[in-house]
């Protein structure tokens, strides 16, 4: 979008928050860059320059606006909509792969050379993977500086910097303030954007997760809570809580829907996991979606228009752990929601890793594929056919024969899942929708969806329904949420406080 100057100028002059994260506006006379919705008086058109990423603006020598905090914008929806190399790379960078494994690790996961990835990211985003990861580290550093009293040396390494000098130089360059000045400014209450809050203990961070309005929380939190695995997830005091398995340690996320943001509280055993935890919570709640674009297309269908008009901004509830969700999808085959929760709860209680949660009832991490693959068939209390399916799935996940997650190739993952015994079209597509994040995943064989389709006058056979749903592409996963929501099921209702 940043190449369409007229459109960008109109968005800036209208202070249109929908375009936050789509592009960034740099101002030649001040040397700063802003989000489109920055509350200051818009600059003259001749002084505006537009960049596709915060990293590109920083590389061009611009520093972040202290008023609108462009580094804290919602992510571009493109990275969750697309399945090409650039989108997969951006999802992996957001998940901290460059910080942990470097650019060679990113290239290895994507199956391309480091030079190819660098070239494509530069062409589309104006910055390579190292610069994009650096911008992400700067944002993490700002959060840690402003939300607590950790020593700066600890913050530097927790944010992923290799040295304190690099940390200091980057913070000064990006924010035009030293780390100490950033902290003092936050303490005076002049941080400007209200996106962060204080901490109550070391390792516990409170912040706001922004999103593009509108957002309908009903099915989003309703689905997560109705299918919650005991010990791993719960709804408590108006918030969804769950345990997190992270690269450096464990975590507990508390996510609370608010009118203009999602309140997020993260308790981490290792602060190096902060960026990854935030990224996974955003992905779980589909917060980088562009609901206006989705709803506009779906409203064009006269049968969907009333549903979209009633609850605009529906999101697709996703997951913080793709392998976990795939296991849960198999456990939920041909059984009720309650039965699926029971099966998963037993698995967690018997084989999950214990966690300490003084504030609630979370007790375990969901067992990983490696743990489950080491179990004997007799240790899985499931019918024989489903036990075989689960065993083959976790073996493939543990061996890396099936890769699910932020950087997965959606088509390849579908094909490899479908090749396993006992995994049919429904399981493949529900994993694609919620674990892979494909916004066009579609479940024409789902019995609930077929029942609703028949009630609304849509075709109810899988082939005919698929043909009718072609007009909803590339947002069929969102259409499914609207159709499911016509049923009076707990997944469609925000839990009572």
Q: Cα separations (Å) of 288 from 145, 291, 439?
A: 25, 9, 12
What gap in Å lies between CA 307 and CA 438, rounded to an integer?
Answer: 22
Q: Cα separations (Å) of 301 from 298, 311, 468, 484?
A: 6, 15, 10, 16
Establish whether 68 is a catalytic residue. no
Listed in sequence order, the residues at least 6 apart from 358 whose beta carbon sits closer than 8 Å to its beta carbon are: none
Task: Identify which of 435, 234, 367, 250 has the alpha carbon closest to the alpha carbon of residue 242.
Answer: 234
219: left (phi over 0), alpha (psi -120 to 50) or beta: alpha
Distance of alpha carbon 277 from the chain centroid: 9
* Token duo for residue 497: 């406080």
**Omega prior to 474 cis, within 30 of 0:** yes
Tell me if 122 sits within 8 A of 52, measured CB to CB. Answer: no
Of 34, 38, 264, 281, the active-site residue reads: 34
What gap in Å lies between CA 53 and CA 453, rounded to an integer?
Answer: 41
With b meaning 16 or more CB within 10 Å and e meaning fewer, what string describes 18-42?
Answer: bbbbbbbbbbeeeebbbbbbbeeeb
What gap in Å lies between CA 160 and CA 168, rounded to an integer?
Answer: 13
What gap in Å lies between CA 130 and CA 270, rounded to an integer?
Answer: 23
Task: Identify which of 298, 251, 295 has the alpha carbon closest to the alpha carbon of residue 277.
Answer: 251
With b meaning 16 or more CB within 10 Å and e meaning fewer, what string describes 69-81?
Answer: bbbbbbbbbbbbb
Of 20, 95, 286, 446, the active-site residue reads: 446
Establish whether 16 is a catalytic residue. no
What gap in Å lies between CA 165 and CA 420, rounded to an integer?
Answer: 51
Residues forming the active site: 34, 446
């Amino acid at each position: 979008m940043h190449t369409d100057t007229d459109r960008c100028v109109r968005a800036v002059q209208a202070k249109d928050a929908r375009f936050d994260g789509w592009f960034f506006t740099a101002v030649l006379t001040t040397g700063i860059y802003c989000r489109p919705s920055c509350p200051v008086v818009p600059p003259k058109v001749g002084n505006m320059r537009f960049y596709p990423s915060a990293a590109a603006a920083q590389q061009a020598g611009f520093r972040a606006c202290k008023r609108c905090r462009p580094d804290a914008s919602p992510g571009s929806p493109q990275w969750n909509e697309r399945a090409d190399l650039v989108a997969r790379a951006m999802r992996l960078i957001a998940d901290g792969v460059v910080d942990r494994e470097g650019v060679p690790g990113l290239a290895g996961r994507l199956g391309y050379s480091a030079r190819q990835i660098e070239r494509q990211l530069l062409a589309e985003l104006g910055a390579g993977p190292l610069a994009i990861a650096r911008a992400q580290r700067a944002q993490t550093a700002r959060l840690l500086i402003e939300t607590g009293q950790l020593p700066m040396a600890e913050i530097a390494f927790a944010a992923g910097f290799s040295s304190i000098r690099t940390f200091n130089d980057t913070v000064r360059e990006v924010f035009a303030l030293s780390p100490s000045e950033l902290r003092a400014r936050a303490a005076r209450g002049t941080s400007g954007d209200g996106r962060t809050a204080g901490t109550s203990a070391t390792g516990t961070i409170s912040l706001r997760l922004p999103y593009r309005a509108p957002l309908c929380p009903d099915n989003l939190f309703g689905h997560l809570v109705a299918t919650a695995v005991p010990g791993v997830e719960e709804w408590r005091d108006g918030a969804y809580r769950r345990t997190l398995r992270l690269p450096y340690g464990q975590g507990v996320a508390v996510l609370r829907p608010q009118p203009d943001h999602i309140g997020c509280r993260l308790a981490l055993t290792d602060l190096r996991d902060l960026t990854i935890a935030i990224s996974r919570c955003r992905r779980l709640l589909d917060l980088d979606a562009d609901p206006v674009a989705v709803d506009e297309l779906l409203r064009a269908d006269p049968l969907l228009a009333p549903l979209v008009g009633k609850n605009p901004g529906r999101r697709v509830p996703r997951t913080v752990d793709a392998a976990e969700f795939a296991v849960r999808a198999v456990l939920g085959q041909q059984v009720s929601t309650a039965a699926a929760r029971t099966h998963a709860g037993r698995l967690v209680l018997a084989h999950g890793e214990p966690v300490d949660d003084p504030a609630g009832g979370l007790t375990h991490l969901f067992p990983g594929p490696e743990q489950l693959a080491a179990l004997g068939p007799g240790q899985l209390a499931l019918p024989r056919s489903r036990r075989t399916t689960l065993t083959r799935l976790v073996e493939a996940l543990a061996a890396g024969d099936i890769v699910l997650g932020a950087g997965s190739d959606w088509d390849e993952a579908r094909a490899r899942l479908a090749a396993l015994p006992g995994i049919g079209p429904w399981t493949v597509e529900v994993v694609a929708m919620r674990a892979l994040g494909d916004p066009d995943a579609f479940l024409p064989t789902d019995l609930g969806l077929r029942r609703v389709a028949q009630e609304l006058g849509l075709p109810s056979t899988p082939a005919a329904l698929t043909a009718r749903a072609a007009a909803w592409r590339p947002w069929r996963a969102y259409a499914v949420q609207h159709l499911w929501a016509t049923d009076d099921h707990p997944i469609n209702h925000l839990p009572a406080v």
